[in-house]
């Protein structure tokens, strides 16, 4: 065991022994390593590495555990849902779970590291990308079958440790950080209004060399920039009206979707929290730099969405009215409310 590994393991133990131990993500920052490496420091003790070659097989068997808590996050937003990983559908590079209580799009072909983790008796599966960033986590609950969990850990364990991990440094190489000097706005707008499938938006903007926020600045009435701190007021309205929502929280490798209403809101420092029985959201309002109201076409109909972005112009949340609950009454309330939003404030 190298001196570096011994030193890091000792520092980790000191952090864990603190009166208020930091979460793994923050502890890793303090040690100047990735979260995946921080977790791997405990391999063979409270952590077991899993074989990423068999992730599809693992996910196909997760339903045997019963109810678990699924967690997906990006830098600004954390989503947590209680549910069962039942009936996974494999489509190309994705595993899709499409249930009312658990709605996931998992691009597991790009998942690089996987671990079974025991944090003081709280067991989980944790997955990371090539940069050591957490992609997706699955926590056991009081309703989980821990014997099945242990069996799956034994079945998929592989010999990987901190010292043979190869974590890449992340260079944020996004599309132009500033809008190009010359944009054919007429052509962009013409192509935008021809779109009838929101799934093709990214490929359209990519063809122009634009991020979503960059393109939205040139779509005139189709996209309106709102105040960046709008999220709390919006969620207060959503909670009050009990509107059924579709809320997408993506990172590059997983998207978790909330399909329903929101109720209990609590603000703590920069964090806006939804604390409902089977759904929790934690949103760091300080890390949301742009909020857009966007009019899109889907199957010939106009659809209003709210999209939030971070400082790197990466989407951290997209929010829609749930189509299945889109009655004329609710749709009018939703449209009237969103179309009255301005940079000055939120309408009552």
HEC string of the chain? CCHHHHHHHHHHHHHHCCCCCCCHHHHHHHHCCCHHHHHHCCECCCEEEECHHHHHHHHHHHHHHCCEEEEEECCCEEEEEEECCCCCEEECCEEEEECCCCEEEECHHHCCEEEEEEECCEEEEEEECCCCCEEEEEEECCCCCHHHHHHHHHHHECCCCHHHCCCCCCCCCCCCCCCCCCCCHHHHHHHHHHCCCHHHHHHHHHHCCCCHHHHHCCCHHHEEEECCCCHHHHHHHHHHHCCCEEEEEECCCEEEEEEECCCCEEEECCEEEEEECCEEEEEEHHHCCEEEEEEEEECCEEEEEEEEECCCCCEEEEEEECHHHCCHHHHHHHHHHHHCCECCECCC
Q: Model confidence at 343, in pLDDT bands (50, 70, 90)?
A: very low
Residue 117 near residue 133, CB atoms below 8 Å: no
CA distance 36 to 56: 20
Mean pLDDT of 3-9: 91
The per-residue pLDDT for range 94-124, each reduced to its tens digit, is: 999 999 899 999 999 999 999 999 998 999 9
| Topology adopted by domain 185-339 | Heme iron utilization protein-like fold (3.40.1570)
Alpha-carbon dihedral sign for residues 214, 217, 222, 228: positive
Mean pLDDT of 216-234: 88
Residue 344 has pLDDT above 50, yes or no: no
Q: How confident is the prediction for the chain on average, in pLDDT?
A: 91
Superfamily grouping for domain 3-86+111-164 = HemS/ChuS/ChuX like domains (3.40.1570.10)
> How is the chain split into domains, by residue range?
3-86+111-164, 185-339
pLDDT score recorded for residue 192: 94
The per-residue pLDDT for range 138-195, each reduced to its tens digit, is: 999 999 999 999 999 999 999 988 888 999 987 655 544 554 557 889 999 999 999 9
Residue 231 near residue 260, CB atoms below 8 Å: no
Q: Are strands 223-226 and 290-298 parallel, antiparallel or unpaired?
A: antiparallel
* Percentage of residues in the chain having pLDDT higher than 90: 76
pLDDT score recorded for residue 346: 38
Contacts of 2 (CB under 8 A, 6+ apart): 163
**Tokens read off for 131:** 């940069």
Q: Model confidence at 219, in pLDDT bands (50, 70, 90)?
A: very high
Q: Model confidence at 50, in pLDDT bands (50, 70, 90)?
A: very high
pLDDT score recorded for residue 348: 31
pLDDT score recorded for residue 40: 95
pLDDT score recorded for residue 93: 86
Residue 292 has pLDDT above 60, yes or no: yes
Question: CATH topology of 3-86+111-164 equal to that of 185-339?
Answer: yes
Residue 221 has pLDDT above 90, yes or no: no
* Percentage of residues in the chain having pLDDT higher than 70: 94
pLDDT score recorded for residue 179: 47
Identify which has the larger pLDDT, 66 or 348: 66
């Amino acid at each position: 065991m190298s001196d570096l590994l011994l030193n890091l393991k000792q520092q980790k133990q000191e952090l864990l022994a603190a009166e208020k131990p930091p979460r793994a993500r923050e502890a890793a920052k303090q040690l100047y390593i990735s979260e995946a490496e921080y977790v791997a420091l405990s391999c063979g003790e409270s952590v077991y590495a899993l074989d990423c070659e068999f992730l599809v097989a693992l996910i196909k068997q997760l339903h045997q555990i019963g109810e678990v808590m699924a967690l997906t996050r990006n830098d600004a937003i954390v989503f947590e849902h209680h549910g069962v990983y039942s009936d996974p559908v494999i489509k190309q590079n994705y595993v899709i779970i499409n249930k009312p209580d658990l709605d996931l799009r998992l691009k597991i072909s790009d998942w690089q590291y996987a671990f079974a983790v025991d944090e003081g008796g709280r067991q989980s599966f944790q997955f990371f990308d090539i940069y050591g960033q957490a992609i997706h986590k699955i926590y056991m609950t009081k309703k989980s079958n821990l014997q099945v969990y242990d069996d799956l850990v034994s079945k998929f364990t592989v010999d990987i440790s901190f010292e043979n991990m190869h974590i890449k440094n992340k260079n944020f190489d996004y599309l132009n950080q500033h809008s190009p000097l010359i944009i054919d706005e007429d052509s962009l707008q013409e192509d935008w209004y021809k779109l009838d499938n929101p799934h093709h938006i990214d490929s359209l903007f990519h063809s122009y060399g634009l991020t979503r926020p960059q393109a939205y600045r040139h779509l005139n009435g189709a996209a309106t920039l709102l105040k960046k701190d709008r999220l709390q007021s919006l969620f207060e309205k959503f909670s009050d009206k009990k509107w059924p929502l579709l809320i997408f929280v993506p990172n590059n490798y997983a998207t978790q979707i909330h399909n329903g209403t929101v109720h209990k809101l609590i603000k703590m420092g920069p964090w806006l929290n939804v604390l409902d029985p089977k759904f929790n959201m934690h949103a760091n309002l300080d890390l949301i730099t742009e909020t857009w109201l966007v009019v899109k076409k889907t199957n010939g109909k106009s659809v209003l969405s709210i999209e939030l972005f971070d400082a790197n112009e990466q989407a951290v949340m997209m929010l829609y009215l749930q189509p299945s609950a889109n009655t004329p009454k609710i749709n009018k309330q939703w449209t009237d409310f969103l179309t009255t939003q301005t940079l000055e404030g939120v309408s009552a």
